[in-house]
Amino acid sequence: MSLNNSFFILLVCMFFLQSCAELQNDKTNPVFITNENYIKAIRSQINVSDKQEVFSYVWKQLDTNITIYPTEGYYYFTFPINGYMLSGSLSLLVSTRDKGMLGFGYIATDRETKGFPQVLQEFDIRPLSKIGGGKNYNKTDGVFVEKIDDLVYDVTFENKTITFTLHTDPYALPKRTKLLSNEIFVGPVFDESGTKFHLIFNKDISRMYYLLNEDEFIAEEMHQTNTSLIIGKRTAFAYFNDSENNRRILVGVNGENVMENNWFDGPFDQVPDYYNYLGFIPKYKEYVEASFPHTKGKIDKYGFFLDDPSVRVALAPYTVYFYKEDLEFIQECETHNNLTEIYACLTEQIYIVPEEYNYFK
C-alpha cells in the first residue's frame, strides 16, 4: 500500500499522540510510521462507545510534558484502535481552564482517508460518524487542573500529572507583509494545520480576515494557478496573491475538509485567545461585533455568546469551496475599483454545501 496520502500520514503519525509539528521540529525524533505499528494498533481493543474508557486510554498514552500549539487551546490527537480511526482533542480553553476544567471530545470512524469512494456510496455504505462523546472534566471527575503560570497548567488524573504548555509566538507586527493604512493588526494565529496567520481588522469594511504569516517557514508547497490565486498543496487553503503589498490573504478552505472537521478545516476556530487573555487585544470584542453586527451586546470579550458560553462566533471570512469553479469569484472581485472593495468582495463568509456532498452528513 502506498503512503502518499498526506492526510492518512498525518492521522497515523498521531498513533503516539504527539504533535506532528513538535516531531518535525525535533530532528532526533522524526515522524516514522510502520505498517507493523498500524496493524497492532488497529487490532487493539477498547470500548470506543465508552467515553470514560477512551479518556482514560488517551491519558495513559500522553507524555508528561506536552505543548498545545493551536491558539484556541486544543490538543488534537488521532490514532487507530479496535478497527476504527479515533480522532479527538483535549482542551484548556480560555473561558474554562481557570475554572479547573479540562475539555475532552472524540469521534470514532471507520474511514481513515480523506473523502469517501463513490463506489461505496453506490452500495449505500456511508462513513460511520456517530460513535463518540465528550465532556468537561473537573475535580468532581477526579481531574485536577492547576494553573502554574499564565500559559502553563498541570492536570492530574489517575495519579498521573501532565504539564500542558500553551505555545505563543511573540506578539509582533508582520515583518514581510505590508499592512494597509486602514488595517489593524489583531494578533497571531497558529492553526492546527501547522499554518500561521496574521489576523487583521479592516476599519473601512468592518471585517477581520487572515493573512498568511510568511515571516517564518511555510510547511507546504504553494501552487500558483494564475497571477491572483495560490493554493497550498498540503492544506488546500486558497489565497489571493496581493503581490503589490507582498501578502497572501486567505480566501478559500476546501469543503470536504470542513465537513470532515479535520485539521485542514480552516482557522475559524483558532482565534488568538492567548493574546487576548494576556491583555494584548483589549478591543477584540469590538472587532468581532463590528464584523458581525448581530452579535453586539451578546458576546463576551473572547467572542463566546453570553446565553450559551459553549458557542462562539466563527471567524470564517472566506469561501468554503468544493470545486474549482467555486474560486472563480476572485476574478470578479478584481474588477472592483480599489483594494478596499476588492478585499470586501474576497472576504465574504460563504458556505454552501452541494447536494452531492450530503453523504458527509
Q: Is 209 inside any structural domain?
A: yes
Do 160 and 190 share a domain, yes or no? Answer: no
Contacts of 320 (CB under 8 A, 6+ apart): 252, 253, 254, 255, 258, 266, 350, 351, 352
CA–CA distance, 53 with 58 (Å, rounded to integer): 9
Last residue of a domain, one of 132, 166, 200: 166
Q: Is 175 inside any structural domain?
A: no
CA–CA distance, 198 with 171 (Å, rounded to integer): 10
Q: Which of the pair, 300 or 337, is modelled with greater confidence?
A: 300
pLDDT given at position 310: 87
CB 288 within 8 A of CB 223: no
| Number of domains forming the structure of the chain | 2
* Lowest mean pLDDT across 66-80, 120-134, 306-320: 120-134
pLDDT of 190 above 80: yes
Do 247 and 311 share a domain, yes or no? Answer: yes
Mean pLDDT of 85-113: 90
Do 161 and 265 share a domain, yes or no? Answer: no
Residue 300 CA neighbour count, 13 Å, CB half? 15
Do 102 and 243 share a domain, yes or no? Answer: no
pLDDT of 114 above 90: no
pLDDT given at position 153: 98
pLDDT given at position 22: 43
What letters, b where the CB count within 10 A reaches 16 and e where it falls short, cover 25-40? Answer: eeeeeeeeeeeeebee
Do 356 and 283 share a domain, yes or no? Answer: yes
Q: Which domain holds residue 56?
A: 6-166
Q: Is 177 inside any structural domain?
A: no
Do 158 and 289 share a domain, yes or no? Answer: no
pLDDT given at position 38: 83
pLDDT given at position 131: 87
Q: Is 327 inside any structural domain?
A: yes
- What three-state secondary structure class fits 127? coil
Q: Is 25 inside any structural domain?
A: yes
Q: Is 105 inside any structural domain?
A: yes
CA–CA distance, 250 with 347 (Å, rounded to integer): 8
CB 342 within 8 A of CB 336: yes
Do 55 and 204 share a domain, yes or no? Answer: no
Share of the chain above pLDDT 70, in %: 85
pLDDT given at position 261: 84
pLDDT of 287 above 70: yes
Do 214 and 355 share a domain, yes or no? Answer: yes
CA–CA distance, 225 with 241 (Å, rounded to integer): 10
Do 278 and 132 share a domain, yes or no? Answer: no
Q: Is 1 inside any structural domain?
A: no
Do 197 and 153 share a domain, yes or no? Answer: no
For the chain, what is the mean pLDDT?
87
Q: Tell which residue, 279, 257, 275, has the closest CA to residue 357.
A: 257
Do 100 and 67 share a domain, yes or no? Answer: yes
Do 244 and 289 share a domain, yes or no? Answer: yes
